[in-house]
Each structure stands twice: as C-alpha cells, then as structure tokens.
Structure 1
Amino acid sequence: MSDDAQELADVQRQHWQNAYTAHPGMYGEQPSTAAVHAAEMFRSAGASDVLELGAGHGRDALFFAREGFTVQATDFSPVGLEQMQDAALSQGVEHRVTTAVHDVRDPLPLPDASVDAVFAHMLLCMALSTKEIHALVGEVSRVLRPGGTFVYTVRHTGDAHYGAGTPHGDDIFEHGGFAVHFFPRHLVDSLAEGWTLNEVHDFEEGDLPRRLWRVTQTLPR
C-alpha cells in the first residue's frame, strides 16, 4: 500500500470511530432492505451461518441473528462492535453473534470453506483500491463453502456524489469526510469471474438518495 493510500485508510478508520462514538447506533435498529433480501436468499439456499463484513454497530448482523442465523460479524471499528455486543445482549441473541475487529485489507480470519453465506452492505465501496477489492472477494470465495452465497451492495458511478469532492484516483472520491469507491459495471462483472452472477439490482437508499447495486453471486458446487 502506498503512503497516500495508507494515510487515507487511517483517516477513514478514525472517521468511523468518531462517528460511532458521537452517534451510537447511528443507523438505527431496523435492518437495511439489502439485509432483508439477503436473509431470504440465504434461507432459500439452506444457509445456517452468515459472515457479515463491515458490520458496524450491527443492525443487519442482529437482524440475521433474530432470523435464526448464526452470525460472525467483523468491522475495523472496535466502538461499533462494542455497541453491537451490547445490543445483542439486550435483544437476547448474544449466543448467535460473535464479533472480531478486522480490516478487510488483511486476509479473513476464518478457515477455508467455513461459512454458508457472506453479506457486505456498502463495505466494498469504502476507500479500497480495485486491487484490494479483488483480493477481498478472493478471500470471500476462500471462506465460503461450495454453493455458498455472497450478497453485497455498492454505490455506483450513477450516484450523485460520483466525481464530487476530493478525488483520490481509482474512482474514489471523498465527500463530507468519508471516501467512497464508486463502482463501474465492469468491476462488478470482473468480481463475478468464477462465480455464478445471479443478480445485479439497482436501488436507492437514504436522503440524497444514494444509488447502489445489490449484487448476488454464488460459488459453484
């Protein structure tokens, strides 16, 4: 990683730490629409355990737990994960949820073929380079069992903030203190090589609104 990329990564980690500290449970308790869809996909595929990457304070991870899945949740913010652990206790699902502080630029701390499903809501479109995103999806492929399902969402180049704010190269733009890697469609297709690409669904979220793709892909058996 270059010095500039490392500095951006460090700044972004601190931004999220500060955000979770200043606004506990900042996204509320209701799951994202992407997580509701993912739970349906995971259940129909017969999944029982889910890995969520970039879980934050846990609104989606806790939803999966309430739906009966066993959940492993990772994030690079210890503050967010502490809030998730407290919420899991209050919701009575602490036995279904485990957490780990982890930066997705590093290999996933799981054995090969050890989970049924992986979910990542707007994690792949954080301040990650294209090379780092490909490495991460390779790690997802490694830890998924054959036939496993991967559902992720990303902001794309049709978003109103694409091209706005401070450019960092590689389709990464920083706006309001947070950096986003906006996905062109060819990046989605390249990440699905070796997988079955089941769906690329265009949707909106938030007040801007943000423009996102929800991508569902499965490993061959």
Structure 2
Amino acid sequence: MPEHERELGRAQREHWQQTYGEHPSMYGEEPSAPAVHAAASFRAAGAREVLELGAGHGRDTLYFAREGFTVPAADFSPVGLEQLRTEAVAQGTAQRVSTAVHDVRDPLPFADDSVDAVFAHMLLCMALSTKEIHALVAEVRRVLRPGGTFVYTVRHTGDAHYRAGTGHGDDIWEHGGFAVHFFPRDLVGSLAEGWNLDEVHPFEEGGLPRRLWRITQALPR
C-alpha cells in the first residue's frame, strides 16, 4: 500500500475514534432506512445471521438484533464498538450481538461460506482505494454462503461534496475531516461481476442532503 494511503487510513481511524468519543450515538438510535430495507430483504431470502461491516456505534446492528438476527459487527473504532456493546446490554440483545475490531483493508476474520447476509452502510465509500474496495467485495463474496445477499450503500459522484474540499485522488475527497470515495456508476457494475445485481436504488440522507445508492446483490446458488 502506498505511504499516502496508509497515512490517510491512519488519519481517518483517529478522526472517527475522536468523533465517536466526543459524540456518542452521533447518528441517533433509530435504524437507517437502508437497514430497514435490508432486514426485509434478508428475511425474505431466509437469512438468520447478518454480518455488519462498518457498524460504528451500532444503530443498525441493534436493529437487526431486535429483528431476531444474529449479528457479528465489525468496525475499526474500539470506541464505537464499546458504545454498541453497552447499548446491546441495555436493550437485552447482547446474546445476539458479537463485535470485532477490524480494518476492512485486511482480510475479514470469518470463515469461507459462513454468513447468510452482509450489510454495509456507507463503508465502501470511506477512504478506500478502488483496489481496496474490490478486495473487500471479494472478501464479502468469500464469507457469504451460496445465495447470500449483500446490501451496501455509497455516496456517488452526483453528491454535492464530490470534488469539494481536499482531493486525495481516485475520486476520494475530504470535507470537514471526513474522506469519502465517491462512486461512479461503472464501479458499482464492476463490483457486481459474478453476482446477481438485484437493485441500484438512488436515495438521499441527511440535511445536505447526501446522495447515495443502495445496492443489493446476491451470490448465485
């Protein structure tokens, strides 16, 4: 990995650690709209376990657990995951939630064909290079069982913050301390090669608003 990518990754990890520490439950307690949609899709596909990548402080993890799924949750922020575990105990869902401190630039700490579904809300559009994103999706494919479903969301190149702030190359732009890899449509297509691409759904979130795609794709059985 080039040194500038390592430095950006370290800086973003520290930024998120500080942000979660200063703003506990910064995204609120209600689940994201993509998580609500994903839960229905996962249930329809017969999933019982949902791996959440980039879980943060866990609003979506806890929602999946309340809906009856077993949820291993991974994030590179120990601070965020500690908040998640505390709230899982408070909500009575701790028995369905496990956590792992993990940077998705590394291989996922799960066995081949071991999970029913994977969910990632705005993780793939963090400060990851295109090469790292492809490697991550390959890892998702490895850990999913045949027929497993992957739902992820990303900010795209139609977003108001695209090309705003500090550019780091590879469509990565930093604004307000947060670095985002804005997705062009052809990147979504290339990540779906060998999958069944069920949906690319545009939506908006937040006050700017952020402009995103919700992508649903499944492995062949």
Band of TM-score, shorter chain = over 0.9
Q: Which residue of 2 aligns with 1:99?
A: 99
Matched with 1:46 is 46
Structure 1 runs not aligned, ≥5 long: none
Tell me, in whole angstroms, the C-alpha distance in 2 between the residues paired with 1:190 and 1:181: 16
Aligned to 1:7: 7
Aligned residues: 221
- TM-score of the superposed pair, with normalisation by structure 2: 1.00
**Structure 2 counterparts to residues 41-190 of structure 1, below 5 A:** 41-190=41-190
Measured after TM superposition, the shift of residue 112 of structure 1 is: 0.1
After superposition, the C-alpha distances for 1:40-63 in whole angstroms (9 at most, x for unaligned) are 000000000000000000000000
Secondary structure of the residue aligned to 2:203 is strand
Q: Aligned partners of 2:170 and 2:11: how far apart in 1?
A: 18
Deviation at 1:193, TM superposition (A): 0.2
Distance (Å, rounded) in 1 between the aligned partners of 2:209 and 2:27: 15
In the TM superposition, what is the alpha-carbon distance from 1:72 to its structure 2 partner?
0.3
Aligned CA RMSD, in angstroms, stands at 0.3
TM superposition outliers: structure 1 runs of 4+ over 4 Å: none
1: CA distance, partners of 2:17 / 2:103: 13
Tell me, in whole angstroms, the C-alpha distance in 2 between the residues paired with 1:114 and 1:76.
Answer: 21
Task: Give the Cα–Cα distance (whole angstroms) in 2 for the partners of residues 5 and 138 of structure 1.
Answer: 20
Instruction: Give structure 2 stretches of 5+ with no counterpart.
Output: none
Question: 2: CA distance between counterparts of 1:94 and 1:29?
Answer: 16
Q: Note the C-alpha offset of 1:85.
A: 0.1
1:156-182: per-residue Cα shift (whole Å, max 9, x none)? 000000000000000000000010000
Q: Superposed, which structure 2 residues align to 1:22-33 within 5 Å?
A: 22-33=22-33
Given residue 145 of structure 1, which amino acid in structure 2 is its aligned partner? R
Look up the SS of the partner of 2:199 in the other structure.
strand
Query: How much has 1:120 moved relative to structure 2?
Result: 0.1
C-alpha offsets along residues 160-209 of structure 1, whole Å, 9 cap, x if unaligned? 00000000000000000010000000000000000000000000000000
Q: Could you tell me the percent identity over the aligned residues?
A: 76
Partners of 2:115 and 2:50 in 1: CA distance: 6
CA distance in 1, matches of 2:162, 2:107: 29
TM-score, normalised via structure 1 length: 1.00
Question: Per-residue deviation at 1:121?
Answer: 0.1
For residue 128 of structure 1, report the CA deviation from its aligned partner: 0.1
CA distance in 1, matches of 2:199, 2:4: 35
